[in-house]
Amino acid sequence: MMQKGALNVQKIREDFPILKRKLSGDKPLVYLDNAATTQKPLAVINAIHDYYMNYNSNIHRAVHQLAEEATLEFEKTREKVAKFINAKKTEEIIFTRNATEAINLVAYSWGRANVKKDDRIVITEIEHHSNIVPWQILTSEKRAKLEYVGTDDNGYLKLQEYTNYLESSKKVKLVSVSHMSNVLGTIVPVNDIIKMSHEKGIPVVIDGAQSVPHMHVDVQKMDCDFMAFSAHKMLGPTGVGILYVKEEILEKMPPFIGGGDMIKEVHKYETRYNDLPYKFEGGTPNIADVIGFAAAIDYLNDIGMDKVRDHEVELTGYALDKITGVKGVTVYGPHNTKDRGGVISFNIGDIHPHDLATIMNDHGVAIRSGHHCAQVLMERLDVAATSRASFYIYNTKEEVDVFINALEEARRLFKI
């Protein structure tokens, strides 16, 4: 029963060869680990294949035709990324290995140049380790202080704590926050946080790893200063991260990784660095996968990010209704689908998430179990681990039913 304007999921599924796979013998794959990484459509796989088959070459240097073609395609991706998040200029888009490296780039380059003793960096309890550890390293090196904004029991940030930090006499140098929790799915009101921080002249890093793949994100409208996200969580290949930085900030940042491609001239004891954004892309980049990423962006644009979001809201609502009906289940995070992405973290009775994931696998269902690289949040929730089901454009209500049946089976097995 297709709704008018809804995704044609069956047609989408045909574009993903892996969805034809079976697990545990004869069980059709139900892939619900999309917050970790998404599957890749044939268009992405073909784009990478085509590059290696037909125009593999290093970029930005040689003048032969292969290099020209590769450089052109590589830079086309940069333009597509800039448009996708509505950056003002393509120069504001830097390719890294992943979102983690993108955040580290901010910490090592901007952070080292600007953060001083006793300065404070404010993050939150919902952060992924990638938005915690770089700041721990930086603050310990600079003898600065790392502060956390807490969450309430429903997974919402305690926004008042921002006000407390920002109004305090101790200097806050940077605010870094996830746009969407990878565990709870909470959508964070980043616009308000950015506005509050900017009123005090404090720049804001947004970890968009979970939001950019699942909803329309406009960096100019949001007015963030930095944004990090990852290609592989939005149909693209692994090995490609993106860092967006406002041009006026980027212009003042010292380089991150020194080496080839990031320079204009190198002399014995000094170097003139390359223009933006190349100054921040030392060494041969991941050319094939960056080119593959362009096909992923095209794919998402063809669908439309608002439709992606609508589909996930509907699926998440359906799944939340069903899962809360299973005896012994605790769901973490906001229950209102308006405030959460397509991520459901839960526990059932005393079944450890890894035992549950093993049982799920017998039914062909791939979910994630563990601390989800968010041990600070796990401590806050007072759980060792959770199970997590996360959705994307190719998931269906029928798959949610298979997942719920597997959950009921686990409950029976553990006599809960």
Residues of this chain that bind other proteins (CB under 8 A) = 24, 350-355, 358-359, 362, 369-371, 384-385, 409-410, 413-415
Widest CA span in the chain: 72
The least CB distance from residue 24 to other proteins, in Å, is 8
DSSP-derived secondary structure letter, 2: P
Rank residues 24 and 324 by Cβ distance to other proteins and give the closer one. Answer: 24
Least distance in Å: CB of 383 to other proteins? 10
What lies within 8 Å, CB to CB, of 397 at 6+ separation is: 315, 318
Q: Which of 373, 374, 385, 402 is catalytic?
A: 373
Closest separation between CB of residue 363 and other proteins, Å?
9
Structure tokens at 299: 């794919």
> Which residues are within 8 A (CB) of 150 and not within 5 positions of it... i.e. 6 or more apart?
124, 125, 157, 158, 161, 380
Minimum CB distance to other proteins, residue 244 (Å): 32
Closest by CA position to 61, among listed 274, 237, 227, 222: 274
In terms of DSSP H, where are the helices of 272-340?
A: 287-303, 305-323
Nearer to other proteins, 183 or 410 (CB): 410
Which CB atom, from 316 or from 369, has the smaller least distance to other proteins? Answer: 369
- Strand order through the sheet with 368-370: 329-332, 343-348, 386-390, 368-370
**Can you tell me the distance from the alpha carbon of 134 to that of 363, in angstroms, rounded to the nearest whole number?**
38
In the complex, least distance from residue 154 CB atom to other proteins, rounded to whole angstroms: 24
Q: Cβ 414 to other proteins, closest distance in Å?
A: 7
Secondary structure of the chain: what % helix, strand, coil (to 5)?
Answer: 45, 20, 40
Q: Is 371 helix (H, G, I), strand (E, B) or coil?
A: coil
* Pair 402, 30: CB distance under 8 Å: yes
Which of residues 65 and 358 has its CB atom nearest to other proteins in the complex? 358
Of 152 and 350, the one with the shorter C-beta distance to other proteins is 350
Least Å distance, CB 351 to other proteins, is 8
Q: State yes or no: cis peptide before 277, omega within 30 of 0.
A: yes
Residue 149 near residue 123 (C-beta atoms within 8 A): yes
DSSP element (H, E) containing 113: helix 112-114
Look at the alpha carbons of 108, 109, 110, 114 in this order and tell me if their dihedral is positive or negative: positive
Please, which residue, 172 or 359, has the CB nearer to other proteins?
A: 359
Instruction: Measure CA 378 to chain center.
Output: 19
Q: At what angle do helices 305-323 and 287-303 cross, to 10 degrees?
A: 80
Retrieve residue 175's tokens: 């605010």
Whichever of 91 and 127 has its CB closer to other proteins, that residue is 127
- Respond yes or no: is residue 373 known to be catalytic: yes
* Positions marked catalytic: 373
